[in-house]
Amino acid sequence: MIGVFDSGTGGLTVLQALAHDLPGQRFVYLGDHRHAPYGNREPEEIYQLTVAAVERLFGLGCRLVVVACNTAAANGLRRLQQTWLPSHHPDRRVIGVLVPMVEAITGVPWMADIRTGRHRGEPRTVAIFATRHTVRSGAFVEEIGKRAPEVTVVQQACPVLVTLIEQAAPEAVLRRAVRRYAALLMRQLGGVPPDAVILGCTHYPLISGLFAEALPPGVEMLSQPDITARSLAAYLERHPEFDTADGTDAPPPRFFTTGDAGKVSALATRFYGRPAVFEPIGAA
C-alpha cells in the first residue's frame, strides 16, 4: 500500500488526485486531526508528529508514504529522509508534496546536480500562499533559488485560513480572508501581478476559485494535487518495487484519523469529493 499523510483533512485533495490518476494503486490515508493544525506548532514538534504518523502508516503495511502536508514537508521531511529513515526503515521511502512543486516551477529534477549548472530560463515571479510555518521555513524560496535563481519567489502567509476552511465558514467570510491575503501579496509586489501562484497548502485547492477571483486576470495557478499525482506516477516508474498495482482497479482507500472519526468523516466529503468513512487510530 501507499500511505498518504496530512495533519488533518486537507491532504484528501491530494489523495483524490492520486486515486484518480493511479486507479491501480492501493492507498491508505492518515489524518492527525488530534494535533491539527500543525501551522501553530514548533518545528521540532512538527517533525516528531510527522515521524510518528509515518511510523503508523508503515505499521499498516505501507512501504511508501506521501507527506501531503506542506507544513510537515517544509519543516522536517529532508531530516526524516536523511537521518531517521535510513536508521529505522532503510527499505521504505517517504516523499512529499513540496518537491514536485519545485520541480514544476524550475524545470530541474530534484536529484539533479545543481552544483554543475543551474536552470536559466526567463526571469519570472512566483507567488506562494501558505501557512505561517511553511512561509517561515523558507523551503520553497531556498529550493527554487538553488535551481532557478532567475525566479523571484514572494510568499504570503495566510493565518486562520485553514481553520476557516475546516470549520466550513460561509463563502463570504472565506472571500474576505482571501481578498485580504491577495491584497497583502500585491502590496509586496508593488501592484505588479505574479506570473504564477502556488497554493502551498492542501486545503487551499478547495477555494482556488476565490484565489483566482481575488488575483489579477491571467495569473497562472499551479495545482499541487495534480502535479503531485504526476510526480508519483513518474516515481513509481523509476521505482517499481513500490508499485502496488496488479493490473486491476484497486479497492477504495482506507481512511484513519487520530481524532473523532465521526466528525472527521462528516467533514471529509467536502475535501475528497465523495464519502470517506474514517476509522480511529490511536494518537502518539
Is 216 found in the same domain as 234? no
1, 36, 69, 130: which one is catalytic? Answer: 69
Task: List CB contacts of 167: < 8 A, sequence separation 6 or more.
Answer: none
Query: 115 pLDDT band (50/70/90 cuts)?
Result: very low
Is 245 found in the same domain as 169? no
71 is in an annotated binding site: yes
Is 123 found in the same domain as 88? no
Is 172 found in the same domain as 80? no
Average pLDDT (106-126) is 61
H or E, element range at 160: none
Average pLDDT over all residues of the chain: 91
**Percent of the chain whose predicted confidence (pLDDT) is above 70:** 95
Higher pLDDT, 39 or 278: 278
Is 158 an active-site residue?
no
CA 114 to chain centre: 24
73-114 pLDDT tens trace: 988 899 999 999 999 999 999 999 998 999 888 887 644 433
148, 165, 201, 207: which one is catalytic? Answer: 201
Strand ranges across the sheet with 64-67: 93-96, 64-67, 2-6, 27-31, 254-257, 278-280
Is there a domain that residue 105 lies in?
A: no
Q: Cite the beta strand spans of 107-262 per DSSP E.
A: 124-130, 151-157, 196-199, 220-222, 254-257
Task: Give the pLDDT score at 109.
Answer: 63
Is 274 found in the same domain as 247? yes
CATH number of the domain where residue 271 is located: 3.40.50.1860
35 is in an annotated binding site: no
10 is in an annotated binding site: no
Is 50 found in the same domain as 78? yes
119 is in an annotated binding site: no
Instruction: Name the residue range of residue 125's domain.
Output: 116-223
Task: Give the pLDDT score at 163.
Answer: 87
Is there a domain that residue 142 lies in?
A: yes
pLDDT of 116 strictly over 80: no
70 is in an annotated binding site: yes
Is 19 found in the same domain as 29? yes
Length of the chain as a residue count: 284
pLDDT of 48 strictly over 90: yes
pLDDT of 248 strictly over 60: yes
Is there a domain that residue 108 lies in?
A: no
Is there a domain that residue 111 lies in?
A: no
Is 245 found in the same domain as 197? no
Task: Give the pLDDT score at 121.
Answer: 62
Is 240 found in the same domain as 159? no
177-235 pLDDT tens trace: 999 999 999 999 999 999 999 999 989 999 999 999 999 999 999 989 999 999 999 99
Average pLDDT (38-50) is 90
Number of domains within the chain: 2
Three cell numbers written together for 249: 482497479
Which residue, of 201, 223, 245, is where some domain finishes? 223
Is there a domain that residue 160 lies in?
A: yes
pLDDT of 268 strictly over 70: yes
Is 247 found in the same domain as 197? no
Is there a domain that residue 104 lies in?
A: no
Average pLDDT (147-162) is 93
CA–CA distance, 14 with 227 (Å, rounded to integer): 9
89 is in an annotated binding site: no
204 is in an annotated binding site: no
Is 230 found in the same domain as 146? no
Do 188 and 154 contact (CB within 8 A), yes or no? yes
**Percent of the chain whose predicted confidence (pLDDT) is above 90:** 72
pLDDT of 166 strictly over 60: yes
pLDDT of 126 strictly over 60: yes
Do 28 and 77 contact (CB within 8 A), yes or no? no
Is 212 found in the same domain as 251? no
Which residue, of 206, 223, 240, is where some domain finishes? 223
58-76 pLDDT tens trace: 999 999 999 999 999 988 8
Residue 29: beta bridge partners?
4, 255
Task: List CB contacts of 194: < 8 A, sequence separation 6 or more.
Answer: 125, 126, 127, 154, 185, 219
Is there a domain that residue 173 lies in?
A: yes
6 is in an annotated binding site: yes
Is there a domain that residue 22 lies in?
A: yes
pLDDT of 118 strictly over 80: no
Is 201 an active-site residue?
yes
CA–CA distance, 153 with 168 (Å, rounded to integer): 30
